[in-house]
Structure formats: structure tokens, C-alpha cells
Amino acid sequence: MEDDLKAILEQVGKDIEGIRTAAEFEQFKARVSGPNGSFTAITKQIGKLAPEERPKAGKLINQYKNALQEQYDKVLERLEKERLAALIGPPIDPTLPSPDAGPGSLHLLTQVRDEIASVLRKIGFVVADGTEIETEYYCFDALNTPQDHPARDLQDTYYLDSDAKIGNVERKEDERYLLRTHTSSVQIRTMLQQQPPIRIIAPGRCFRRDTADATHSANFHQIEALYVDKGVTVKDLKADLDYLFRSLLGPDAEIRFRPHYFSYTEPSFEVDFKVGHLGKVGSDWMEIMGCGMVDPAVFEEMGYDPNIWSGYAFGLGIERIAMTLYGVDDIRYLYQNDLRLLSQFS
């Protein structure tokens, strides 16, 4: 009897490897352990044994039954694993690019920045670079912005701790460092490095201590422009801005200047625009940016003779232009990286 049981167990061990589905397993199990199964047939022989041999045989049968059950459990476990693996699919390598992602596209803010830059390049501007961490000198003092100006309020701006390490930058003694509040600081960096004539634009990131809402963000982007030459007048400023806004918004775009105050320009203006085809947004004058003629005090600080050189400067918010042009009504959408928004502008 033991030989027969052993032979069946061995055969089961081999056959079970080939089982692929739960249904196949059930059929197989029935052929071995079912009422007419090969294993069951052997266990029935116990009835023919002498009574004194039966306990020993019973024990033996139980041992083989358990061994058989182990084989069954093993195959059931394997089938379950295979079923789950089939549900999940092949193993995933999260470092690979997604197979269903498109080629990607530039962010709306990048597109608008590039558009503005390409219009201004056509009339001779080149891109200049600055740093996001600035000293008070570049951000305020050199721009004729006095100590008591509200922009210098600690609550308005992010100042760095006096012992904060700034990358590889060597800190100047007695200088306060801050995250630049505007790109106007690049005017100063450029004027100290070059001699006029100068015609630069400086796109970049700016920071202010603003609480985020639909129109404010602590981090935003500007493009600054500076033109210094002999005989530059408000007429040049107006003509170039007319050209910029017509290029950006269409030939029916109009702009107007309203007197304003900026400490680095004199006279200074705020610029409003209006554009018929933009519907509700463009139907009434809307404030869009600041500009003016470079204040002689700034030229003097740079070592330029204001009797020889004159110039204009302007600064505009990239978010502002993007939101106006594309009807985005909350600035926060521009930073959430939600594909439902981004893909509309790809």
C-alpha cells in the first residue's frame, strides 16, 4: 500500500506543475482525491486489511493525505499569485517615461515670456540676467528707493537672515540680502557692467510677502526693460510700448499713460490698455504695467552723465499678461501644474 501511495504522491508532484487554471486544478483534484479518485481507491483497501493492521495503515494514509494537501495548497497559492500578477500587469519601472505621455510643451508663462522677449528682440533688445537673491543696494538704494520706502518693509519682502549662507556668493559686510521684489535690479547690474548705449530686457522670477489669492502670489515673474542712449524721450517709450501691445494683443490694442510715482523714473507712468476684440476683458481701460524715464539720480549713481544720457525703463508682470491674454482668472492655476489647465495651452 505504501508503494502505491508514494507513487501517487510523486505523480501528483509532477502533474501539478502543468496546472494553469483553478478549473484545471478542480478537475485534477477530483481525479486524485474525489470519490472515484486514484488516491481514494487506495484508501478504500483499508477495509480489506486484517483488523490489527488497520491502525498502522490509517496512520500512513493520513500522512500521505497531508502531504497531498500540501501539494494542493502550493498550487493554489501559485495560481492566486499568477491571477494577481495578471491583474496588475508586468512589473513597472517608475523611472521610465510614461508610455502614454505626449511630448510635453512649454508652460503658459514660459510661452508668454518668450513671446514678449521675441517682440522686443525685434526692436533691438537683448536679454540680460540678474540674480534672484539680491542686496538692498541693487534692489532699492541704487534705484533711488529711500530707506523709508514701504517696499523696504520687512513685511513686504523676504529678507535673508544675516548669517544665511548664499550658495558660493561672498557676503558683503553691512549688506542686507533679500529675494528680489522686482527685476528692476537688473537695470543696475547691467549699467554697472556696461557703458551706454544699452537696450536690455530682463525676464525673471520675483518675490513678495503677499498672501496668495486670485491675483497675488508670493512668487511671480516680470520682464524689465531698460533703454539708455542719447536723446531718448517719452515718445520712444510710448512708441515701443504701442508696438509691444499691438504685437501681443492685436492691431486694435490701445494703451494710455497715467502719471504715477516710481522712485527710479521721472516722470513715471502707469500703463492701461484696452483692446476691442478681447470682449469683456478688453472693453475698458485696465492697468497693466509701470514705466518712466530713468531718473537722473539713478544715472548719477551709475556714473553716467545725465546731461548726455537719457533713457526709459518699464516693468511688466508676465502672469498679468498671460491671464489677460488667455482668460485665466486665478493666478494660482498657473502654479498648480494641473494638466487640465496646462494642456489647453500646449
Please name the amino acid found at residue 39. F
Least separation in angstroms between residue 292's CB and ligand DAH is: 4
Nearer to ligand DAH, 32 or 232 (CB): 232
Least separation in angstroms between residue 268's CB and ligand DAH is: 6
Sheet holding 198-207, edge to edge: 126-127, 198-207, 219-229, 310-317, 286-294, 265-275, 253-262
Nearer to ligand DAH, 43 or 263 (CB): 263
Least separation in angstroms between residue 167's CB and ligand DAH is: 24
Least separation in angstroms between residue 311's CB and ligand DAH is: 10
Percentage helix, strand, coil for the chain under 3-state DSSP, each rounded to 5: 45, 20, 35
Least separation in angstroms between residue 291's CB and ligand DAH is: 5
Nearer to ligand DAH, 29 or 221 (CB): 221
CB of 317 closer than 8 Å to CB of 204: no
Nearer to ligand DAH, 265 or 310 (CB): 265
Nearer to ligand DAH, 262 or 273 (CB): 262
Nearer to ligand DAH, 12 or 313 (CB): 313
Mention every residue, 6+ apart, whose C-beta is less than 8 A from residue 124.
199
Run of H or E including 28 = helix 22-33
Neighbouring C-alpha atoms within 13 Å toward the C-beta of 74: 14
Nearer to ligand DAH, 144 or 184 (CB): 184
**C-beta contacts of 320-329 below 8 A and 24+ residues apart:** 320/288, 320/289, 321/112, 321/116, 321/248, 321/288, 322/108, 322/109, 322/111, 322/112, 324/278, 324/281, 324/286, 324/288, 325/112, 325/248, 325/249, 326/108, 327/281, 328/108, 329/214
Please name the amino acid found at residue 80. E
CB of 206 closer than 8 Å to CB of 224: no
The rounded distance, in Å, linking the Cα atoms of 323 and 108 is: 10
Least separation in angstroms between residue 181's CB and ligand DAH is: 7
Nearer to ligand DAH, 282 or 315 (CB): 315
Nearer to ligand DAH, 77 or 213 (CB): 213
Least separation in angstroms between residue 159's CB and ligand DAH is: 17
Quote the DSSP letter at residue 31: H
Least separation in angstroms between residue 313's CB and ligand DAH is: 3
Binding site for ligand DAH (CB under 6 A): 182, 184, 224, 262, 265, 290-292, 313-315
Length of the chain, in residues: 346
CB of 314 closer than 8 Å to CB of 290: yes
Question: Which residues are 229's β-sheet partners?
Answer: 310
The rounded distance, in Å, linking the Cα atoms of 118 and 147 is: 36
> What's the burial of 254, exposed, middle or buried (CB within 10 Å: 0-12/13-18/19+)?
middle
Least separation in angstroms between residue 331's CB and ligand DAH is: 15
